[in-house]
Chains A and B, each alone.
Chain A
Amino acid sequence: MAATGTPASRGDLNQVRSAMGRGPMRPGRIEKARAPRTALRRLAGYLRPYTATFALVFACVIVFILLGLLEPYLLGVAIDRDIGARAVAPLVRTSVLLLLVFLLDNGFQALSSWLMARVSQDALRRLRLDLFGHLQSLPVPFFDRHTAGELMSRLTNDIEAINQAVSQNVVSLVASTLSMLGIVITMFVLNAWLALAALVVLPLMFGFTEFVARYTRRGFRDLQLQLGHLNGVLEETLSGQRVVTAFGRGEAARARFEQGNQAVCEAGITAISYALSLMPLTNVLGNVFVIVLVGLGGWLAFRDLATIGTITAFIAYGRNFISPLRQLANMYNSIQAALAGAERVFEIMDTGPESDAAAASAPAVTAGDVVFEAVDFAYVPGAPVIRQMSLTARAGQTVALVGPTGAGKTTLVNLLLRFYEVDAGRITIGGRDLREIPRAELRRRLGLVLQDTFLFSDTVLENIRYGRLDATDEEVMAAARLADADQFIRLLPDGYHTRLSERGSNLSQGQRQMLAIARAVLADPAILILDEATSSVDTRTEARIQGALLRLMAGRTSFVIAHRLSTIRDADQVLVIQDGEIVERGTHAELLDRRGVYHELYASQFKGKAI
């Protein structure tokens, strides 16, 4: 319906689409990139390989815009020249021509979206992969500075914002702009007076949009703030629900929740009411546009300065002009959001990766003495965690690291794996500075069982195979047997083919650690690091694993961190670490005899009981 603008126009469609949005509570994001040009240029880099397709899409756009301009004109011709002149044959000709134009128009529109779908998805896939690959190469401290949620948001929300813009809005924006330009020119050609009158509405339209958008932006910013707050309260309360229940604090939690809930409700009413009021306002302007055309056109027609056909055509042009205009703001916002997202994505891609020294080369020897020479290290400058640490682990030796929580044991492991770089001093393996060995080579020689077992949502088999990707099923099972995991794995619903749910939450802590041990067994490293590897396994199970670990440690240089003295009594060397320094070193027996810190630790565990 020409008069009021199509009531079910695309603006409404966009609203419905956003109603289908999948994400969590995430109202329209209104944000801007700091350097949109740079972001745009780099983003364009991802689209460059598809230049040919783009040229084709552009050609389609030009064609359907021109066809679109022809349609109202033909409509006018049909009314004025054919119907007006009471000529049936030309009317039929015009009708057929019009049908043909319509068909081609729709066909080219479909073709352009068809082509864009593949291009945008391929480009995004490459962007995702680049980002992912880069994340993989980033040093561990980077992951300390950024929360998992933050990084996930880069990889999902920001990429999705780019997706929205690239797959839908970029072509629409170009097409709409060109089409509006074409319409203005055509209107002037057809009737300059009517065209001038029509254009009067434009500044009004922009003014209104900007006016409403300002309030909408403010409203949404507030809503976002309140939503963030409510989600925080929810996340915390729900993840601590058991404690809330245990301490009977449900009422207090509810009061806190209710406050946030009410605030979100109010902010939502304000923000969304503003946002939605734009539609009726622009509708009125659309109507004014048409009414001006009809009124003025009628007056001009009265004076024989215009025809009914021209007026009809103008109404149609007006509709084609107004409807993209109403969406310009949406498209613009979407593209802004995409650029802001792209900027954050590129920020990560510009973070320097872990790099190896130019001279780094694979070590000639697979194993050798591991030596720390006067190593200093601090996670945060000024708060040293390791001070002047020197130690030597001979090839094949087992070194136990003992000490209270926070003494710096895990830090030593982090340094050995080069997750972090030493601040002073150096660490050598077989006489070579770690920094001269490519990281990948170094880590391949180190086997690791961490305190916090990480499992992937995959089968048990694949999780163990992670230790050595080319291991056969038999080798995997042999490793599981060695880690004493075989027995419980076979009791799982699908045995080795049981899929672990997110991060192995369907296994107990102890079982997960057994899988981690099996993984290390399979990796067959030259140097083994066990960081509290058996802390969550009860002592009887641990005793069973102990044998497996001893077999695993035989012939390898091993670093063992543990609270439990029973785990470390067989070590060749025990290092007692306190406050980032080695305070005692020697064998279990020597240290007991010395009656120092170690003896105290040992005695406190079995106090009052004869050993």
Chain B
Amino acid sequence: MRPVLRLLRHVRPYWRRSVVALVLLIAVIVVDLAIPRLIQRVIDQGIIARNLHVIVATSLAMLALSVVQAVFAIGNNILSVQVGERLARDLREAMFRTIQTFSFGNLDRLNTGQLMVRLSSDTTVFQRLVQVYLRIGTRAPLLMIGSLVLMFDTDRRLALMMLPILAAVSLVIAVFVARMEPLFRGVQQKLDRLNTVLQENVAGVRLVKAFVRADHERRRFDATSADYADVSTRVMRFMSTLSPALSIFVNAGIVAVIWRGGIQTIDGGITVGQLVAFINYLQTTLGPLTIMVMLASVAAAGSASARRIDEVLTTAPEVADPPQPVALPARAAPRIVFESVDFRYAGGGDPVLRGIDLVAEPGETIAILGATGAGKSSLVNLVPRFYDVTAGRITLDGVDLRRVRLDALRRMIAVVPQETVLFSGSVRDNLRFGRPDAVEAEVVAAATAAQAHEFITRLPRGYDTHVEERGVNLSGGQKQRLAIARALLMRAPVLILDDATSAVDVTTETRLQEALKAQAGGRTVFVVAQRISTVLTADRIAVVDGGRLVAQGTHEELMATSPVYREIYASQLGGGRPDGQGEP
């Protein structure tokens, strides 16, 4: 329950409204409890005593009371809705703010889907918890207690008779609540499984067709679907017995009252009006019990959601600003030095990088070459502090990166990530993402250098063309070129291209490199690549293998000294033979 309590602190700004809501709720309950008494009055002092005035006056009083009650109830509703919705808004915002401080390491562990669920359905479930408890959640138990008290007030002996029934009902409910949670969890699991199969089939439809596996998938789907149907049936059957089971006890109570109370009435112990009132109170006591079962599951669901929301809110960013940041030198191409850098991803595992020593002189272009999983991306991700080194240090013009403010550091570095992400909006908005105040000429210049200007002008509305969600209306190569233009437009003194041209064809890539070369000198560049052709023009090539820097130098130097480099070179040019003898 601790996460629930922690989240409930977010209710504090609205405590006044919450208190008023609860006060109104109590007023509603008082009316609820008063009405059986008034009916009793109509029967005893009106009908039986043959007093028409009492009948009319009491009926009108009841009418007035119920109108007042409706007003109170609506007031309670509006206030609790306001509290709930604002609480949800505040929680969403708090989470969103926290997420903005996340480092890549945090994001690795909480992926987009998980965060989406926490910001949407988890928040809604928790909000409902608050709303429900500001309304019927509190009303039901208070009503029960109130009518129990009034039952005793009406007739002690009859009321005592109800206690065993109440105990039995409580027992039934306890059993249901205890068994319900695992049952519901089971349904949820089967449903998740069903959705996974569905999702895979919708997303992988080409593969299923290409391998002619429709029958196989149908069987797989039906097996999961049957599982789900079975569990659902079991749960529905279980739930369908709850309401009748409770009714039986309530009805047994009514019969007992009629029986024993009837005899008492005959004996003159109580009046007919009291008897009717007693039955009414009995129903008021036992009616909310069914709701209690539901309340228990709302609480369970709410606290599970609260835990997930709390997890986001209490996640500390792995990479944080230093307490006393050092100012960075002027915005000129800096010298970046890796000093025996080790890095491993949080959560264990082997180090990804070991003892990296690398110097990028101002204005140099350093290419990083190596096999899949060699640690190339990890290496460049350390420069903008997407992750922090686990040992050693990286300096920028002699200043340890960890002593600099994060936003200042990142403003100096333009990144073209491996996976291209575009946002919905115009092409121009996307290009200006890193520098919203760039003028048109700058935008066009950056796009031209990135070899994107030509295809942009051929788009239906040129730079104003709307980029659909995640750029689905552009080809992979086009998206990559937009991402490069976006980075160039930042005019940052450091540029990182993380395998940024993998989907661009070779001719275009060559032109792109020439354009970059023409602009170079003003910035220090890191280029991660798999293709030899991409790295040939770099000032220096660093070869990474198994997390270590195994060689560095120019193409010619490496051809002479590095067997790993020769092997890579040969594999791309020599049909797989490491002797470099090209033509077959």
Set A16, A136, A312: member contacting B295, Cβ < 8 A: A16
Taken together as a complex, chains A and B put the C-alpha atoms of A570 and B584 apart, in Å, by: 8
Q: Does A358 contact B (CB under 8 A)?
A: no
A537 touches B372 (CB 8 A): yes
Given A132-B201, A273-B78: A2 and B421 interface contact (C-beta under 8 Å): no
Nearest CB in chain B: distance from A112 CB, A: 8
B536 touches A607 (CB 8 A): yes
Query: Which residues on the B side are within 8 Å of A78 (C-beta)?
Result: 258, 262
Closest to B39 in A: A3
Given A236-B469, A250-B100, A607-B533: A536 and B39 interface contact (C-beta under 8 Å): no
A241 touches B206 (CB 8 A): no
Set A290, A301, A454, A538: member contacting B207, Cβ < 8 A: A454
Given A20-B301, A257-B96: A156 and B195 interface contact (C-beta under 8 Å): yes
Query: Which residues on the A side are within 8 Å of B325 (C-beta)?
Result: none
A1 touches B62 (CB 8 A): no
Given A6-B283, A302-B52: A284 and B93 interface contact (C-beta under 8 Å): no
Taken together as a complex, chains A and B put the C-alpha atoms of A606 and B222 apart, in Å, by: 54
B70 touches A92 (CB 8 A): no
A467 touches B211 (CB 8 A): yes
Q: Does A477 contact B (CB under 8 A)?
A: no
B475 touches A405 (CB 8 A): yes
Closest to B289 in A: A8
Set B43, B218, B251: member contacting A102, Cβ < 8 A: B251
B421 touches A242 (CB 8 A): yes
A113 touches B198 (CB 8 A): no
A601 touches B507 (CB 8 A): yes
Q: Does B102 contact A (CB under 8 A)?
A: yes
Nearest CB in chain A: distance from B101 CB, A: 8
Closest to A241 in B: B107
Query: Which residues on the A side are within 8 Å of B490 (C-beta)?
Result: 247
Closest to B200 in A: A456
Q: Does A51 contact B (CB under 8 A)?
A: no
A109 touches B47 (CB 8 A): no
A287 touches B290 (CB 8 A): no
Query: Which residues on the B side are within 8 Å of A601 (C-beta)?
Result: 505-507
1/0 contact trace for B432-446 toward A, CB 8 Å?
011010000000000
Nearest CB in chain A: distance from B121 CB, A: 4
A294 touches B255 (CB 8 A): no
Query: Which residues on the A side are within 8 Å of B225 (C-beta)?
Result: 125, 128-129, 132
B35 touches A287 (CB 8 A): yes
Which of chain B's residues 51-81 have a Cβ closer than 8 Å to chain A? 52, 55-56, 59-60, 62-63, 66-67, 69-70, 73-74, 77-78, 81
B204 touches A405 (CB 8 A): no
Nearest CB in chain B: distance from A425 CB, A: 22
Taken together as a complex, chains A and B put the C-alpha atoms of A551 and B104 apart, in Å, by: 41
Q: Does B244 contact A (CB under 8 A)?
A: yes
Which of chain A's residues 481-515 have a Cβ closer than 8 Å to chain B? 502-503, 508-511
Given A132-B198, A405-B475: A16 and B291 interface contact (C-beta under 8 Å): yes
Query: Which residues on the A side are within 8 Å of B423 (C-beta)?
Result: 236, 240
B117 touches A249 (CB 8 A): no
Closest to A354 in B: B209
Query: Which residues on the A side are within 8 Å of B288 (C-beta)?
Result: 7-8
A95 touches B572 (CB 8 A): no
1/0 contact trace for A298-316 toward B, CB 8 Å?
1101100000100110010
Q: Does B386 contact A (CB under 8 A)?
A: yes
B207 touches A450 (CB 8 A): yes
Q: Does A424 contact B (CB under 8 A)?
A: no
Query: Which residues on the A side are within 8 Å of B567 (C-beta)?
Result: 540, 543
A24 touches B117 (CB 8 A): yes
Set A17, A243, A440, A508: member contacting B373, Cβ < 8 A: A508
Taken together as a complex, chains A and B put the C-alpha atoms of A334 and B480 apart, in Å, by: 47
Q: Does B42 contact A (CB under 8 A)?
A: yes
Taken together as a complex, chains A and B put the C-alpha atoms of A202 and B276 apart, in Å, by: 25
B35 touches A298 (CB 8 A): no
B204 touches A265 (CB 8 A): no
Q: Does B263 contact A (CB under 8 A)?
A: yes
Q: Does B352 contact A (CB under 8 A)?
A: no
A8 touches B82 (CB 8 A): no
Q: Does B248 contact A (CB under 8 A)?
A: yes
Closest to B264 in A: A83
Nearest CB in chain A: distance from B66 CB, A: 4
Query: Which residues on the B side are within 8 Å of A456 (C-beta)?
Result: 200, 204
A83 touches B39 (CB 8 A): no
1/0 contact trace for B91-113 toward A, CB 8 Å?
01100110111111001000010
Set A152, A243, A268: member contacting B85, Cβ < 8 A: A268
Query: Which residues on the A side are within 8 Å of B530 (C-beta)?
Result: 538-539
1/0 contact trace for A245-288 toward B, CB 8 Å?
11111101110011001101100110011001101110110011
A510 touches B36 (CB 8 A): no
B294 touches A20 (CB 8 A): yes
A24 touches B120 (CB 8 A): yes
Taken together as a complex, chains A and B put the C-alpha atoms of A83 and B32 apart, in Å, by: 27
Taken together as a complex, chains A and B put the C-alpha atoms of A466 and B208 apart, in Å, by: 9
Q: Does A25 contact B (CB under 8 A)?
A: yes
Closest to B204 in A: A454
B136 touches A570 (CB 8 A): no
Query: Which residues on the A side are within 8 Å of B291 (C-beta)?
Result: 8, 12-13, 16
Given A20-B298, A235-B116, A241-B107: A136 and B217 interface contact (C-beta under 8 Å): yes
B384 touches A246 (CB 8 A): yes
Closest to B510 in A: A604
B386 touches A569 (CB 8 A): no
Q: Can you list 21 pairs linking A and B with CB atoms under 8 Å apart?
A: A8-B139, A16-B295, A91-B259, A92-B259, A105-B251, A113-B236, A116-B236, A132-B221, A234-B119, A239-B421, A246-B417, A272-B84, A295-B42, A295-B56, A298-B52, A298-B56, A308-B272, A539-B532, A543-B576, A609-B536, A611-B583
